[in-house]
Amino acid sequence: YRDRISQITAMSARIERGYGQRPQGAWLTERVWEATVVPALADAGIRYVMVDDYHFLCAGVPRERLNGYFSTEEDGRRVDLFPISEALRYRLPFAPAHEAVAYLESLATESGQAAAIYFDDIEKFGIWPETYDWVYTRGWLTQFIEGVLASPVIQSSHFRDYHGRAQTHGIAYLPTVSYSEMGEWSLPAAAANDYADLVEAARQQGTLDRKRAFLRGGMWKNFLTRYPEANWAHKRMLVLSSRLAALPVEQQTDDLRGLLHEAQANDAYWHGLFGGLYLPHLRRAIWSAMVELERRLDVLQPRPGVSLGDIDLDGHEEAFLTNAQMQATVRGDADAAVVEWLSYPLRQNFADTLRRQDEHYYRKMHLQETESGHSGDGIASAHDIVRFKDPIAPADLVADTRPRALFVETWHGEAGPQAVEYGARLEQGGALLFLGQAGLARVGKIYSLHQNRLIVGLQANGAGRLETRIHLAIPCCDGVAGRYVVNGEVPGGFGQAFAWDNLADLRLEDHFLGGAIALRSVPPARIEARPHRTVSQSEAGFEKIMQAVELTLAWDISGPTQLRVELSVLALDQTNG
């Protein structure tokens, strides 16, 4: 409630400064409806919002009544609701202009008060595949506007004006819901496929129009259960919001509140038809804001060097190691890995990676569907297009069984590779010690911070090979601004794979970020480096996206052995590059 109010108020003030009018209505983000938004909307001066007609159908409102606005309330606060026509969303601009105009005319009533309600993404008018040529070059937009203006029954109107002159259609209470596609996207892959099969079966039976409102999938917040990385970012954001709200009022500046608003941009927390969470630059934007906000809050509200808490509600307590330069967060599960590694000077979370997950739309690739099932006049919606931006192999679609975090250990002994599983955790002198084992091998892991360095000590006892895997989110990804530096030489960039034997020092430079990570291994290790990529769907097709640099360090062990890995964060002018 608190942050909804401040976000809406800030946006309304900005619009008023730029256009001389303060908005009375809002297009609800992704039309994600929960009754809990009503008090914040009303208290922020919003009188009406636009949501999908699907929301009303889910509440049992007959389709023929969805030609005007309704009213709802929560805790006595009123907001009016406009039902956006799904039929119009799928016709504009994809159907021929004359068909779209004819459909609008078919909705007219003798009273002249029926509203055909439309609100949609501008990206469908020139950004989605094929739409620029269709809308502009081939004249769809001109034809549509001319058709509307020439129609004797169509009259365009601002929402504000219609709302001011028309009466409400009455009270409506909507369930927690978004548009129907969101219900599919937010489900885990297996459940999403089952849901899609149910919808398709109803379509084949000719009953979909009647049943669709009652064939509902998941809700938006399911994305936070599907993607641990999104849940972690969301819960970290909530902690920062609470810290900001706890400050004396005079310290709650617009700058701090603006950083919080940046961290709350929804795009990076979910994934549907488009990249969303899968796009590293979107995640980096919210993390950059959170890192800077936390740095400033720490100046006003200093924190201890070590703190504990299960903030992501997964049943495992996280340990936060903090100093003025950085923060390392270790999740207290069996991997005892670093799931967040912040550099405050660079405003970067180097652990902002993403694991491979099974996605429901992978089934499209398995079924080898054709590029487009669209036929006839008009063009296909991006929802219906199947394209490949990159070659995709079956191995690219295998889901990860362990997190793409920092310091995830595997023991290679007589029994083959085994995950090192940690149990007991001890805290001593600002350091964290985890005790683990893999079969008969014993492994200890110690985390500590020293200025700009994350220091990890590994103590192994057994006969075999110990590997630790480090995933680093480098902003330039596989672009030209990133490079490895080994013994003063540049073997290549982060999009390439390398292996070095008996290597003590490796530097990763990112000229886009303006910083570098210096890795030191004592004793030297065999180091393998390669890009970690995921496969996701976008409006332009299935694509591979580099999420992180994957470094695997390996040492041969025979008896008690002590190892140390240091990761230092440097500004680029502190390097030799």
Q: What is the per-residue pLDDT across 517-557, written as a single tens digit (0 to 9) for each?
A: 999 999 999 999 999 999 998 877 899 999 999 999 999 99
Over 60: is that where the pLDDT of 379 sits? Answer: no
Examine the residue annotation and report whether 16 is marked as an active-site residue of this protein.
Answer: no
Of 223, 536, 194, 195, nearest to 397 by C-alpha is 536
- CA–CA separation, 567 and 563 (whole Å): 14
User: What is the model's pLDDT at position 368?
Assistant: 56
Q: What percent of the chain has pLDDT over 90?
A: 88
- Amino acid found at 327: Q
**Residue holding tokens 């309704």?**
70
User: What is the model's pLDDT at position 374?
Assistant: 38
Which residues are within 8 A (CB) of 250 and not within 5 positions of it... i.e. 6 or more apart?
A: none
Confidence band (pLDDT; 50, 70, 90) for 226? very high
Which residues are within 8 A (CB) of 109 and not within 5 positions of it... i.e. 6 or more apart?
A: 67
Comparing 2-16, 368-382, 563-577, which segment has the lowest mean pLDDT?
368-382
Where are the CATH 3.20.110.20 domain residues in the chain?
2-178
Q: What single DSSP character describes residue 133?
A: I
Average pLDDT, the chain: 94
User: What is the model's pLDDT at position 382?
Assistant: 53
Whole-structure pTM value: 0.92
- For 228-237, what is the mean pLDDT? 98
Catalytic residue among 52, 74, 86, 121: 121
Q: For residue 133, give Cα distances in angstroms to 46, 144, 379, 389.
A: 37, 15, 10, 20
Cβ atoms 76, 55 nearer than 8 A: no
Cβ atoms 490, 484 nearer than 8 A: yes
Where are the CATH 2.70.98.10 domain residues in the chain?
362-379+388-574
Catalytic residue among 30, 74, 478, 566: 30
User: What is the model's pLDDT at position 422?
Assistant: 98
Name the helix (H) or strand (E) containing 408: strand 406-413
Q: Locate 426 and state its tokens.
A: 């001890």
- CA–CA separation, 154 and 162 (whole Å): 14
Q: Locate 50 and state its tokens.
A: 């636009």
Strands 326-331 and 318-322, by their bridges, are: antiparallel
Q: What are phi and psi of 189, to 5 degrees?
A: -55, -50
- For 437-461, what is the mean pLDDT? 97
User: What is the model's pLDDT at position 384?
Assistant: 55
User: What is the model's pLDDT at position 336?
Assistant: 98
**Residue holding tokens 């899968």?**
278
Of the CATH numbers 3.40.50.970, 3.40.50.1950, 3.30.70.980, 3.20.110.20, which one belongs to the domain with range 2-178? 3.20.110.20
Confidence band (pLDDT; 50, 70, 90) for 375? very low
User: What is the model's pLDDT at position 380?
Assistant: 53
- pLDDT tens per residue across span 18-49: 999 999 999 998 999 999 999 999 999 999 99
User: What is the model's pLDDT at position 95?
Assistant: 97
Looking at domain 362-379+388-574, its CATH class is mainly beta
Burial of 536 (0-12, 13-18, 19+ CB in 10 A): buried
Q: Residue 523 CB: number of other CB atoms within 10 A? A: 11
- CA–CA separation, 80 and 33 (whole Å): 13
Examine the residue annotation and report whether 121 is marked as an active-site residue of this protein.
Answer: yes
Q: What are phi and psi of 114, to 5 degrees?
A: -70, 135
